[in-house]
Amino acid sequence: MQAVKDKVAFLAIFIASVSLAISLYFFLTRQNPVTVESALLFELREHDKLLASLEKRGAGPQGEGALSYYLAKSRSGGVASQAALRSDLNAVERNLSRALALLDLYEANTSDPDALSAIKNFRAYATSWLEREDALLELYMLGGGYGVSSPRYSGDLKKLLSEE
């Protein structure tokens, strides 16, 4: 009976050692881990693409008037007629939310004044855009509209990350 227990214990230790060796091998040979900076840069590049798509739809330069444009189109043709545009606006919202989450991680590890300024500007832009987007349904239902000023996107943070 003791011999069986010893064999089971030895087998368990052997399996654990092989598993550890495999884990270490993959850990040491992994390719280019994704950094917060590269993930944030990816989201900012994606944001540029989304804004260009909105601009092609007629939402103004860099999608500045996208929410007002959607509101006007929805009122004239109905909400259902603007499903594709709404899908694009939702994509921008998800993109900005991911970028803000990554920005929190990135900001914690930087002390460069230029980077902090770019972070502050992007955070103000993203927050303003998301707040305006959150008010869309209420504005539609109440018959209101957006003010003439809309958040402006500056590519400062993307430029800074591209240089790193």
Q: Are residues 79 and 115 in the same domain?
A: yes
* Total domains, the chain: 2
pLDDT confidence band for 61 (50 / 70 / 90): confident
Q: Are residues 19 and 41 in the same domain?
A: no
**d(C-alpha 70, C-alpha 91), whole Å:** 14
| pLDDT tens by residue, 100-145 | 999 999 998 888 898 899 999 999 999 988 888 877 777 666 666 6
130-133, long-range: CB < 8 A, 24+ apart: 130/93, 130/96, 130/97, 132/67, 133/67, 133/89, 133/92, 133/93
pLDDT beyond 70 at 158: yes
Range of the domain at 136: 36-163
Q: Are residues 86 and 143 in the same domain?
A: yes
Q: Are residues 47 and 105 in the same domain?
A: yes
Q: Are residues 50 and 75 in the same domain?
A: yes
Q: Are residues 101 and 20 in the same domain?
A: no
Q: Which of 57-61, 87-91, 105-109, 127-131 has the lowest mean pLDDT?
A: 57-61
Q: Are residues 19 and 76 in the same domain?
A: no
pLDDT beyond 60 at 31: no
Q: Are residues 49 and 128 in the same domain?
A: yes
Which pLDDT belongs to residue 118? 92
Question: What's the whole-number mean pLDDT along residues 22-28?
Answer: 71
Q: Are residues 48 and 2 in the same domain?
A: no
Which pLDDT belongs to residue 131? 86
Q: Are residues 124 and 159 in the same domain?
A: yes
Q: Are residues 92 and 61 in the same domain?
A: yes
Q: Are residues 24 and 93 in the same domain?
A: no
